[in-house]
Structure 1
Amino acid sequence: MGPSFRSAFTGHLFVLPAAGYRNNSDGSSNNQASNGNYWSSTLESSGKSPRLNFNSSDANTNANNLANGYSVRCVQVFTGLSLIL
């Protein structure tokens, strides 16, 4: 399981699984249950996109090549009375 977060607005728990990633050179699956890699919806002009990476001791964000097979999760964020998708 990955890190969990509790919404300040709804109190609901949000969990990101440590799903690992698909290697872009040979298609193998790597780091399941130890690392989570999640794409951002932002696309950079260089063919890269920011991603969230985490493991049991660290979390960071950096831009990575889109050929990497990272996870995608649709997340809705509620702020006050508005809904941001």
Structure 2
Amino acid sequence: MRLAGWLLDSPRLGQATSVKRLAGNLLKQPARQGVVEAQSRLGLLLCRDCGNARDRRIGQALLQQAARAGDERALQALGQAENPPLSE
């Protein structure tokens, strides 16, 4: 869990697709076990960096679970997803 967070937060490493995939794999089990931070981080990762609709739906569901538990990052992400910025 901490390793995944470190990888994602690293300015240089966190941008690489392979690093994101590794971090996602590290977050899956804790997220399934109900670890709120893992749900939030994996949900964000799936929503932002996955190109298919299935992964985005899973990411949204994880963010919703984390938001129900009070995770601020998930609440913010869902707020942005539900109220996208208006284009000028």
TM-score by length of 2: 0.23
Task: With the length of structure 1 as denominator, give the TM-score of the two structures.
Answer: 0.23
**Structure with greater strand percent:** 1
Q: Judging by fraction of residues, say which structure has more helix.
A: 2
